[in-house]
Structure 1
């Protein structure tokens, strides 16, 4: 959907991704798409469809369902994954973007401990933003010709704090199997080793290198006085939410600040965690949930300072003309701009998580 300024997101959300993939595949699989979506209704997103396609490919064999046998559905599933990979294979636009704002914030302050970014995104936009800024980062791979994944380096903290840690929890474009049957990073736009949205996601993430990356997330949250900031993540991925809740339960001094784009009532998975974990806070468009208690945003009758108006405009306003004013930091553009605009000399203490400059910080661009 276009914004008021006629711009479009670089990568569509699930609804847009579903529409684009199905438009491309409809000429080849129209009968199967129509029939399967009717069976799946109201769950008509690409994840639900891919789960059904993969399930049929494994159980029906030579028997046909909607004119496709098991082999046909296997090809159908591969085609869906291929189109997803193509759609997320985008480049950063020239000039300013949310990614460049985020990187500018990361490199703009001296830190005792490194920023850690945990992301489920497949694209290479963050990598591109770091490289444009000549900012060093480590993604778990090392080597020259075929960089290999090194779980020992992921678990440790031997690199200088100026090196950002970038953990791709669901894999990345350019990951594939090497000659030794291990995952390598090619530097290309291949999409053969991604954890695609489907019912086997949990099983896939129990294997290397994904298990090491998820363990790193849990270890991060077990660090004393750490703060994890989440943006753009629904918390419906149970294998990730489980690591988060385990870490918060084991370490009451850790905190998660979840900045959500939708209204609080529409963030069911996040609210479920927040209702059980007092150190998990939600900041949604219309309301927040802190210490398990929810409440709508209320503006003070008077600003605390005469210069506070421009400050409040960075986090409170409108996404578009059709909606009333609300909390803005659930949108990545406002979120990144808010922190890039901050000027602080604060030294971040143990284990950094992403944004509001509390004791620790490391962005979760989930």
Structure 2
């Protein structure tokens, strides 16, 4: 962690962030309550709960045939059915009926995730302060599966330039050439929305455009868009960018709030890390190690995938608990240690607020410990 603190304080390393739904779920609202935005499980329960009076038969039918019941998998299935069944009926709905169902889901998702950053000093604001706080040889690349506009708000609040793959004025269009070449100046942060975003919709030509509004109509898993290649293009290009980033020598991808349960993302990570030993992933997880099944599987097979969980870590394939040495190696070690371990010896950087504070304070001579008020409540099982 001390070495990482040095690396992120400098501007010479090629660094990327992978931000999942757990990040927004780990942020507090303005009144101090959690979460700012529910994680995928909470989002699924909220959306389906709202739509159940109208679509109960369809929801029950889809859950019965799908192995996963999260909102993205259900929405992908709905979109697929709307494209192929036409006037035939599945679960008492025809193709147009499923299209309407999908639009209703997107509308409810949009209402839930359309939130503003709590001010002042939000976690995303701290991350942007870290990104813009030094001159960089390479741009920071942020890969996120989240639909919200929190990163956009954080960048724009300090007038920090970023590129999300779209260009234009009236109806900004997606430019895959600029995404693949990534040749904008290093001061432009790259913001890649892997699962779509609020404000994305399909134009009359079938192409995905960015509207600048907070409505949500284009939120899907990319591989389920194989029925329409023009709609697949943004997602395929963004996932290819993630793979290309990890295939570049001497890169570091740091994840926060991501479970690695998304098979299409985990597969690209697996392939790229196996092909490029010079790339590394640091996965900062909120739960205990034994609960992080998908991340543990990657850490077991890939020595350049390091997993840091609440109670233990798995580094270079070796597992061990967090433990305080009897003698600190230097006088600065105690304050630095307090920025990533709490008084009980639990790793705190799996939460977005301590994580962002650690990054923002990396250039400071003084090490700032994480206040207990920044940690969301967590249920820890009793000792055996």
TM-score by length of 1: 0.81
1:74-85 alignment, distance < 5 Å = 74-85=99-110
1:79 & 1:339 partners in 2: Cα distance?
Answer: 39
Partner of residue 118, structure 1: 143
Shift in Å, 1:229: 0.8
Partner of residue 21, structure 1: 47
1:279 & 1:295 partners in 2: Cα distance?
Answer: 16
Partner of residue 200, structure 1: 224
Give deviations 1:273-297, integer Å, cap 9, x for gaps.
Answer: 1111111111111111112222222
1:124 & 1:192 partners in 2: Cα distance?
Answer: 14
Residues 1:251 and 2:276 are matched in the alignment: yes
1:124 & 1:48 partners in 2: Cα distance?
Answer: 22
Shift in Å, 1:170: 1.3
Partner of residue 302, structure 1: 327
Change (3 A) 1:316 1:40: farther
Give deviations 1:178-220, integer Å, cap 9, x for gaps.
Answer: 34432221111121222259x8378789921111111111111
Q: Could you tell me which of 336, 343, 347 is aligned with 2:363?
A: 343
Shift in Å, 1:304: 3.0
129-138 vs 258-267, which deviates more?
258-267
Moved over 6 A (4+): 1-5, 201-206
Partner of residue 156, structure 2: 131
2:66 & 2:167 partners in 1: Cα distance?
Answer: 45
Q: Could you tell me which of 194, 214, 232 is aligned with 1:189?
A: 214
1:328 & 1:15 partners in 2: Cα distance?
Answer: 22
Give deviations 1:43-74, integer Å, cap 9, x for gaps.
Answer: 65434554665677666965574xx3335555
1:79 & 1:165 partners in 2: Cα distance?
Answer: 31
Shift in Å, 1:18: 2.2
Q: Secondary structure at the match of 1:233?
A: coil
Is the contact made by 1:98 and 1:332 (CA closer than 8 Å) also made in structure 2?
Answer: yes
Change (3 A) 1:102 1:299: same
Q: How many positions carry a matched residue from both structures?
A: 336
Partner of residue 351, structure 2: 331
2:312 & 2:105 partners in 1: Cα distance?
Answer: 37
2:74 & 2:172 partners in 1: Cα distance?
Answer: 34
1:256-271 alignment, distance < 5 Å = 256-271=281-296
176-185 vs 117-126, which deviates more?
176-185
Change (3 A) 1:341 1:222: same
Partner of residue 35, structure 2: 9
Q: Secondary structure at the match of 1:193?
A: coil
Partner of residue 373, structure 2: none
Partner of residue 94, structure 2: 70
1:169 & 1:104 partners in 2: Cα distance?
Answer: 23
Is the contact made by 1:81 and 1:196 (CA closer than 8 Å) also made in structure 2?
Answer: no
| Two-structure CA RMSD over aligned residues (Å) | 3.1
Shift in Å, 1:129: 0.2
Give deviations 1:280-322, integer Å, cap 9, x for gaps.
Answer: 111111111112222222221233344533322211117xxxx
2:292 & 2:350 partners in 1: Cα distance?
Answer: 12
Q: Secondary structure at the match of 2:232?
A: coil
Give deviations 1:128-164, integer Å, cap 9, x for gaps.
Answer: 1000011111111112222211111111132111111
Greater per-residue helix proportion? 2
TM-score by length of 2: 0.77
Partner of residue 310, structure 2: 285
Partner of residue 18, structure 2: none
Q: Secondary structure at the match of 1:304?
A: coil
2:67 & 2:237 partners in 1: Cα distance?
Answer: 35
1:202 & 1:275 partners in 2: Cα distance?
Answer: 32
1:289 & 1:87 partners in 2: Cα distance?
Answer: 35
